[in-house]
Structure 1
Amino acid sequence: MSDVSLTQAAELAANYFGINGTATSLPGEIDDNFRIEAEGRTYVLKISPPDTSAAILAARQFVMTRLAASTMAYAFPAPPLGHEDIVALPDGRSLTVVTWIEGVPYAEAGRFADIAQDIGLLAGTVVRGLEGFDHPALHYEDQWDLAEAHNTIRELSSNITLRSDRALVDDVLDHLIVRAPLLQKLPKQVIHGDINDLNVLVDDGEIAGLIDFGDTRHSWRIGELAIAATYIMLGTDDPIAIAEDVVTGYVEVAHATRDEAEAIYDLIRARLAVSVCVAASRRHLGNEHHTVSEDAAWELLERLDYVDAIAAATRLAAAAGYDAPEPTSTILERRDRAMGHALSLSYSTSPSGPLHIIRGEGAYLYDTMGRRYLDCVNNVAHVGHSHPDVVAAATDQMFLLNTNTRYLHDNVITYAERLLEELPDHLDVMYFTNSGSEANELALRMARATTERRGIAVLDHGYHGNTSSMVELSPYKFNGPGGDGQPEWVTVLPLSDPYRPEPDRDYRAVCEWLLDERPPVAGLIAESIVGCGGQVMPDTGDLHSAYEAVKERGGVCIADEIQTGFGRVGSHFWAFELHGLEPDIVTMGKPIGNGHPMGAVATTADIADDFNNGMEYFNTFGGNPVSAAIGIAVLEVIEEEGLQDHARKVGSYLLTELRRLMDSHDAIGDVRGNGLFLGMEFVTDRESKIPNPAVTAAVVGNAKENGVLLSIDGPHHNVIKIKPPLVFSTEDADRLVGVVHTALGHVAL
């Protein structure tokens, strides 16, 4: 309640503006407002608090005067001629006076739906009237500014105590974040900023005018329309249809770019989320002005949660005169014309089509319409998609220098030293490449150089890269579609699978027989958990036997850590440590750069000396300053955020919860793995263990439709691989388990 009495208000109007009349109190959020009736004319006296900027008050006066002069269609309050001054009171408060506008607030007039298009016309008229006008005082940050909605929601949403309500505003925030690249490019100008149902005055069923310029600011132009549409949608049976009418009216007098038109729906939801967040944070102050429309805002926000966001955004863009966004089928046609058909595309046969992903954050990916997907398969974004520390390391170094390793630079040396600290002491030399495939290719060259042999041993179903040599030595490729079969120089050792044990087999004897029957090998290259084989962790004793058999015959052992390294397995930094192995060469890739193309090879000084045979090794981009800076940042994030131990804890929890599903779903034959490198194998029944690829595909497809991304591997395509970013949380694990449980419930077994 104002501490200014009606008598005092009348005296202020008389003393400072020469307006003699009687005062009546008016509602106001920040200012004390009074209606002054004097000599047949009516005014509004506004008393602003001491912290109000005089420059902002003056700018608002200019805005009102400009609008009042720009159109006769609507009435706008404006300082009366001769009373444009802003009076500074001794106590620091400010006085202004504007003309009174006749009419009743739309919120109090008994809502009528056919006003929607007129609301759009009003918003468009304001935008047109203020086009080209600017004032430095109106460039300020405020929690009601839609351009700051993401910050407002992030800062205030903790005041929302009901979990389901909090989830609604969090979803809005997620959409704003993923749409940020589009939103940041939206045109800005001075707008009214609060065309709501209390500020729009109506008279005899028509809009009479617009009041309350207290939120006038420089912001997104289309925000004027979005805010106006938000309040007219409250309490309506078909809010999207109402919004369409508002848009139709707006574009009759003002232009909306395609980007603006496609942002309208997101900004409507943003305004609702800001409204409920502000209401929640200020309710304890007892200022009902902030909560007067809160229930209606929540009701609309909940209703929109059940609306197809793509369809709604498309309808509003169409109302602005734009065709629907380019359909997936058209994008696929363009891709087919411009790119090679050997490239795979996830979910290409899904009923809803493949994903068009434009952004990632943490363990989540976002598509063009702001849909959020829990990424359970992308082990490249090791420390989380778009980790700010990694991004900063890359951009900071890119501003300074990027060149090759023929020049001295601290970054690559520091990075080599940091990696060696994570490796066993006998591995003391580093080389850098641009991918895991390159790293394995280099390791193969080293093995051949140090042994002067050409042959190589591998584990069955293994995959080690996309170069010619790696395809030739990978059973996953040479025994698969389009493959040429096993080359003469490749020895394939059996993959020891604990889920399908062969107790009568002498694994060591089999390995020795194969190695003796085939051409002498330079070495063995093997993953310690075989990903393409179906997330299979070979029996530790058998893997030891393979290593020993190769080393006894003069070969070297290469640990392929491209998928499993850098703390993913939780209990150890490298997967070969799970088995107590001592490799001669370790190769790295995928997670090493958190999405930046990098690879590395660690080896012994003796092997490095043998490789230094006069043929220079040079890699144009391997170990460049930017890549090295990124690699250092990734290691620092792993350490500082405790991600290895996090992978251990969350992975153990997830493994336990997935195994619980086996109690209610017989189709799950096995759940296995370490840390956050897990696999679920699906079978027709647990006794026969016959692979069930149909159920596997159905679960993955259903999970995608429910916002969880998974992938399939294994020679029989019946294993779901789970290898998310290491920031994957227990809450994410619960969501994954719940989605798999639901999916299995929908699958006809």
Structure 2
Amino acid sequence: MIDPERVARDLFGLDGAATALPGEHDHNFRLETDNARYVLKLHAPRPDLALEDAVLQHLRDEPAVPRLAGTGADNGHTVRLLSWLDGRPWADQGGDLASLGRVVARVDRALRDFTHPDMERPHRWDLRRAADFGIALPPLDGLPHQVIHNDANEHNVLVDDEGVVIGLIDFGDVVFSPRVCGLAVAGAYAMQGQKDPARAVVPVVRGYHEVSPLREDELAVLFGLMRARLEMSVAMAAQQHAAAPDNDYLLISQAGVREVLERLEGEDATLAHFRFRDACGYEASPNSRAVRARLARERAYPVMEGDLAGAPLLDLGNGMPPVHGLAIGRYDEERSIYTAPEFQTPDGRWRTRHMAVDIFAPAGTPVFAPFDGVVEVRENRNRQGDYGGLLVLKHDGFWTLHGHLDPETLARGEVRAGEEIARLGAAEVNGGWEPHLHLQLFTDLVSDLPGVALSDEADVWRSICPDPNLLLGLPGGTAARPPRTDIAARRPVVMSQALSLAYDEPLHIVRGAGAYLYDASGREYLDLVNNVAHVGHCHPRVVEAGARQMAQLNTNTRYLHGSVIDYARRLAATLPDPLHVCFFVNSGSEANDLALRLAAAHTGRDEVIVLDHAYHGNLRSQIALSPYKFNGRGGEGRPASTRVAALPTEAGALESLTAQIEEPAAFYAESVQGCGGQIVYPPGYLSSAFAAVREAGGVCVADEVQVGFGRVGEHFWGFELDGAVPDIVTLGKPIGNGHPLGAVVTTPEIAASFVTGMEYFNTFGGNPVSAEIGLAVLDVIADERLQANALAMGARLVDGLRAFDFADVRGRGLFLGVQLDSREEAKRIKEALKARGVLISTDGPLDDVLKIKPPLVLSAADCDRCLEALWDAR
């Protein structure tokens, strides 16, 4: 039996505690002394240890590699003492992919001039031996060869708390082999756990190239080598486990390896090669430059009759407008209309960059071959949103794709330039589109001939699929104006710098649906912060209601209209008596401003009591009622007419309120306070406060701008949690699901006090479009049982959140706050969640509370995604 502590003492004079570590063949121990930590390794004698020791000595100045601190022998074992590297294995938490590539490159660069008599010994893990298992290899002759680490798997790569790779251990598999094989090993194992491994590994290649530039011939074989290493790992593990069935270490990573191989089934190796080329600064498609140069010189036959040069260029970025006659849809245009599952990548992003030109014309319009060619692909892709009838013509060194054709008219065999090859299909046969020709150039046939690409791969696809205007020759061009990459830089020039942006790297959001938002690259984000989209972003019933009424009439309350009356009745019916007189405005801030006027008219006073940290709106009158603003950065302090009571989070809060009561016009309170940190008041507080204010002659205003319309789950209105009934209720944000709408509902008595002879008129308040939208929101809340969903999903989130070690989890329904220990921790988690596709915000007096107030359509799967992301972000 091995006594590692004795060995360390006898051989190296070190007294310390030893802990066993895993190993495939060797006995490995972590040794902790008073002054340092080491790895103690005991091996059966073998000749290749001299090579490993020489490699470590050569790398002694590389901080990512353990230092050889001593060697010796004990009871037939070769003993080696290595310095301990801090960090955790990649297998425990994953890591930054680019930094993995950089560390492997640093080690390779340091070993470039290393030589040793044993370096060309045969080794079972030499990738060149994959053929021994019947695994096909790309040609490797002529590539740069050197000694490489050869085993950057998830157990040999160490990362810091931020996931940055800081260590590379276990040099037992060093081998003289093509340099690119070491990168292939690292990339192969980095693919584990990735939903889209072929794309995910690109940063590893980019990081390597930044440190040690890769040649084009190395990039050409890299993806094939990655796949071969994975296949070799499975074959080797099976062989070894058959010989030693009790050694489970041999199968430690095989489940992940097999999963990667399954995900890579059908992956286009050429496309992977092109991604690698682009990541390293080469033109993605090696053929592209020559094809572009040739087409710039040669004249193509018109693909369609008519005056294409005079046809209007359509903007299809956000939808499909009505098309009348001949029209052109742009190349390289960012389009948010591609929402079918086929356009989503395995990692949840959307392909939205259009890589073709669309030529709109009536169904049945003839389509002609631009050059001589041969029909290489002739298909009917008849799924909704697909190509319908499809032809791909092979020309001399390039291809043209013609989509959305009538499948009954597709040509066969050889075609001549100017020959009719098909006719445009109607929507019933062309994939469900407005009749048009989808014309796309290919310098190489890759993947499944996609017509749209990921925006962050646009450079790759512009190389594979150059602008088809090389064929059309339209003088105005067909390419879309490039997406603005300088929006963040231009914004402070054309908009006020008083406007803030969320996140260190701001998001460019272009589309929303349900509980999700989508950025300009098509990436999907779970939205846990935008309570404005109460019934879900762009809910079809709300959109349809607004569009329908907007097409009929939009005017003001000086005319009679049934919609606003219906809406007032429906809204008042959700509130307790005697709250049933409605005023309609355009925002929560306007609602609170009008409530202040109502209170002043009814009481003849101007003094207002508010709670500390409250926020009631952005108008000057509401800034005066908002300690969150007037006591915050840039604030001017408390106005004389405003009195501030303590936020009721502990005993004595009611006494703090009553101490402020003299001759109040009103007491304003958010029914559950938001900016104070999602604070639910103690039982009885709100009803007792209302009673005290009324006794002094004031009116009570419940600000439901954030929490109303069923968000708290147990009740439709937040003030109902305490059994309180206010005199005035103010509404905004969720009332119109993003449409600018607000409301004030009060008693007949208070409303009568406002009738002074001065007309109250709001140009847009109470317009029929807003009323129809408001009605649709109420319908959706009821029909989709969103109040009940808020209760159920809120409970699911709270249960999950309380499994963490957070300081506090509070709130009701889907209006929740998570108390953290510091502002810095809250910001870190917010940014980490964003990186994982979950949007959340922070609040509270110290900005140390995560606030959760998503659309009420949040699902159980969405809750679980939030909790999983939060677990990772912690």
Taking structure 2 as the reference length, the TM-score comes to 0.54
More relative contact order in 1 or in 2 (CA 8 Å, sep 6+)? 1
Task: Give a deviation string over 1:521-543, Cα, whole Å, max 9, x none.
Answer: 11111011100111111112233
| Percent identical residues | 45
Q: 1:240 to 1:195 in 2, by over 3 A?
A: farther
Aligned position for 1:708: 838
Q: Is the Cα–Cα contact under 8 Å of residues 415 and 628 in structure 1 kept in the other structure?
A: yes
| SS in structure 2 of the partner of residue 508 of structure 1 | helix
- Distance in 1 between the 2:630 and 2:422 partners? 67
User: 1:473–1:490: 8 Å Cα contact kept in structure 2?
Assistant: yes
Aligned with residue 763 of structure 2, among 620, 626, 647? 620
1:681-716 CA deviation, whole Å, 9 max, x = no partner? Answer: 111xxxxxxxx0001001111111222111111110
Aligned residues of 2:287 and 2:444 also touching (Cα < 8 A): no
Structure 1 149/675 Cα, relative in aligned 2: closer, same or farther at 3 Å? closer
Q: Match for residue 793 of structure 2?
A: 650
> Which residues in structure 2 correspond to 1:259-658 (within 5 Å)?
325-327=483-485, 330-347=486-503, 350=504, 353-497=505-649, 501=650, 503=651, 506-516=652-662, 520-658=663-801
| Structure 2 CA distance for partners of 1:449 and 1:703, relative to 1, 3 Å | same
Equivalent residue, structure 2, for 1:13: none
Say if 2:873 is the partner of 1:730: no
Cα drift, residue 592 of structure 1: 0.5
| Contact 1:200/1:211 (<8 A) preserved | no
CA contact (8 A) 1:118 1:246 kept: no
User: Could you tell me how far apart the structure 2 residues matched to 1:148 and 1:515 are?
Assistant: 58
What is the CA deviation profile of residues 476-521 of structure 1, one whole-angstrom value per residue up to 9, with x for unaligned ones?
1110111111111111111112xxx3x4xx33333222224xxx11
Alpha-carbon shift at residue 196 of structure 1 (Å): 4.0
For residues 689 and 600 of structure 2, the distance between their equivalents in structure 1, rounded to whole angstroms, comes to 18
Q: Is the 8 A contact 2:291 2:397 kept in 1?
A: no
Residues 258 and 464 of structure 1, relative CA distance in 2, 3 Å threshold: farther
Deviation at 1:223, TM superposition (A): 4.4
- Aligned: 1:217 with 2:424: yes
**Pairwise mapping of residues 9-158 of structure 1 onto structure 2 (< 5 A)?**
117=288, 128-132=301-305, 153-154=340-341
Which residue in 2 is equivalent to 1:677? 815
Matched position secondary structure for 1:514: coil
Residue aligning to 1:47 = none
Per residue, is there more helix in 1 or in 2? 1
Alpha-carbon distance in structure 2 between the residues aligned to 1:704 and 1:334: 23
- Partner SS state of residue 515, structure 1: coil
Q: Is the 8 A contact 1:123 1:228 kept in 2?
A: no
User: What are the Cα deviations for residues 278-305 of structure 1, in whole angstroms up to 9, with x where unaligned?
Assistant: xxxxxxxxxxxxxxxxxxxxxxxxxxxx
Aligned to 2:40: none
SS of residue matched to 2:706: coil
Q: Residue 259 and residue 647 in structure 1: after superposition, are their counterparts in 2 closer, same or farther (change >3 A)? A: farther
Other structure's SS at 1:673 match: strand
| TM-aligned CA deviation for residue 336 of structure 1 | 1.4
Structure 1 438/215 Cα, relative in aligned 2: closer, same or farther at 3 Å? same
SS of aligned partner of 2:851: strand
Offset of residue 600 of structure 1:
0.4
CA distance in 2, matches of 1:201, 1:341: 53
Q: Distance in 1 between matches of 2:792 and 2:477?
A: 44
Distance 2:395 2:845 in 1: 74
Residues 721/211 of structure 1: CA separation in 2 closer, same or farther (3 Å cut): farther
Deviation at 1:224, TM superposition (A): 2.8
Tell me which residue corresponds to 1:266: none
How far did residue 246 of structure 1 move? 3.8
Change (3 A) 1:572 1:120: farther
CA shift in 2, pair 1:153/1:439, >3 Å = closer
- Counterparts of residues 147-226 of structure 1 (less than 5 Å): 153-154=340-341, 168=345, 171=348, 174-176=350-352, 186-188=358-360, 190=367, 196=377, 211=413, 217=424, 221=437, 223-225=439-441
* Equivalent pairs, count: 520
Shift in Å at residue 333 of structure 1? 3.1
Cα 1:693/1:619, change in 2 over 3 Å: same
The CA RMSD measured in Å over matched residues stands at 4.1
Q: Distance in 2 between matches of 1:259 and 1:708?
A: 39
Instruction: State how far apart, in whole Å, the 1-side matches of 2:495 and 2:719 are.
Output: 38
Q: Distance in 1 between matches of 2:741 and 2:612?
A: 26
Gaps of 5+ in 1: 1-106, 140-146, 158-165, 263-321, 663-667, 684-691, 745-749
Residue identity in the other structure for 1:341: Q
- TM-score w.r.t. the length of structure 1 is 0.62
Distance 1:453 1:207 in 2: 79
The C-alpha deviation readout for 1:72-96, integer Å capped at 9, x for no partner, is: xxxxxxxxxxxxxxxxxxxxxxxxx
Whether the 8 Å CA contact 2:546–2:769 is kept in 1: the answer is: yes
CA distance, structure 1, for counterparts of residue 592 and residue 399 of structure 2: 72
Going from structure 1 to structure 2, the CA distance change for 1:168 and 1:256 (only over 3 Å counts) comes to: farther
Alpha-carbon distance in 2 for matches of 1:588, 1:184: 47
Where structure 2 has 5 or more consecutive residues not aligned to the other structure, the ranges are 1-267, 275-284, 308-325, 327-333, 362-366, 380-390, 401-410, 416-420, 426-434, 451-456
Q: Residue 424 of structure 2 contacts residue 436 of structure 2 at CA under 8 Å; is this kept in 1?
A: no
Q: Distance in 1 between matches of 2:643 and 2:715?
A: 29
